[in-house]
Structures are given as C-alpha cells and as structure tokens.
Structure 1
Amino acid sequence: MRMHRDMIRKYTRKLTQGAGASAPDPMSDLSRFDLDILGVQRAAEADGNTDWLRLSLDALITDPTGRINIFAGQGYPFSDAQLVELFTYAFHKIWPDAMLSEPGNELVMEFERMTDEEWADQIDSSM
C-alpha cells in the first residue's frame, strides 16, 4: 500500500521534535514523551487518521530497515533502534490493547510523497 509519508511525518514530528526530544538524554526516560504522545493521539483523532497512524507505526516498528530514518526529525539524532523503541512506546501508549504484527505479517507500506488530493483519491479507489 502507498502511504502518505508527509501525513505520517506530521504526527511523528510531534515525537521527534517535541518536548521529550529536547531533554539532554531523551531516551533515558521515555515517559518524558507522554505529553507529546497525547498530542499525537489527539491530532490523529481530530484528523480521522488514527487507523492510518496505527498501521504505519506497526509497519515501521516491524520493518524499520531503510525507511524509519525518514521520520527521525531534525533535533536529537535518533538512531533507527531508538526510533523503533520510541515508536513502540508510543504505539503501546496510544493503543494499549493492540498487538504489534509479527515480522513479515505487517501491512506492506511504501511511504511516498504525495499530495492530499492523491491520498484522498487512493483511499477512495481502495474502498
């Protein structure tokens, strides 16, 4: 599936460039990201994109190689492993009862640059 990269980046940016990421060692206490995660959740709910965000985070966590780094942001220099850890933490905070996919069973996603109109057309054509 083609996924609207910039739409997902809008949400992940709240994590990678928010208050939690501005701590001297943000990964030492992931609870610093709790307010940022709440902001991500509220924004996705307001936009009607919680399912797309959940599927995207699941795909990135389960198969991060070569693509999770495009969601790293520009502040703290997150490694791929740190992004997996942070996104996993956020996933479980937002969807505490949801299970992550087993590797190889996640939805195959290609995170691509597209306009909002292209995204809407893709969603309309898949329904």
Structure 2
Amino acid sequence: MHANRPLIHAMTAAIAALASSLAFAHPRLESSTPADKAEVPAPQKIELRFSETLVTQFSGANLVMTGMPGMANHAPMKMAVKVSGSDDPKTMVITPTQPLPPGSYRVDWRAVSSDTHPVNGNVTFTVK
C-alpha cells in the first residue's frame, strides 16, 4: 500500500496543475478570415476563431481603415460594423454595414471567455 503513495501524490499534483491551468486559460485567437496580413477582395464578413467559448456580451471588435490607395496621409477611419456570435460559440463575426473600398484595414478585437479576463489583439488585411 505504501509503495503506491508516491504515485498517487504525483497523479494528484498533475491533475491539480492541469485543472488550475484550465481554470485560468485565456482565449487565444486561433485563426481569422481573412487571414492576418492577407490581400483579399472585399469580405462580406470577418470571422475570428478563438480557443475558448466567448462571453459575447463582453467581447467585441472595431474595424478601422488604416490606409487608402493614393492617399499617403489617410487618417485611420472607424468603419460601421455589426459584431455578433455565430453557431460556433468560439467564433466572433464582424459584418461591415457597407462594402469595404480598397485599402488597408485593422480589426481591433476584445475577447472574454468564462474566466472573465479580457484579451485584446488585432488582425490586419488589405482589400484589393
């Protein structure tokens, strides 16, 4: 019986470490459509896929046009979008209210999962 104690203690410690790392996990951006730094035709929607289920009422995004062809000093311009969840609770959908003209764009996102800690980041792409 005593020979199994070290094994039981090791297994208990491993399970506790795994459980605590899961409890404090933050959502990570796993992919985006369009992909980061991609050059694409004007997308009708932008999808961000995260590693965790999002709390949609605390998550969100802004779309900013950061450059326009032929305008060297184009000031960043916030674009009107609708942000929603999707059938996949780990995906955020950003839908521009009007077609995006050619130029460079940045999606500034904020993701909150069940741990309630916000994580921020951005994705850039260019519309041809």
TM-score by length of 2: 0.27
Greater length-normalized contact order (CA 8 Å, ≥ 6 residues apart) = 1
**Rg (Cα) greater in structure:** 2
Hey, which of these two has a bigger chunk of strand by percent?
Answer: 2
Hey, which of these two has a bigger chunk of helix by percent?
Answer: 1
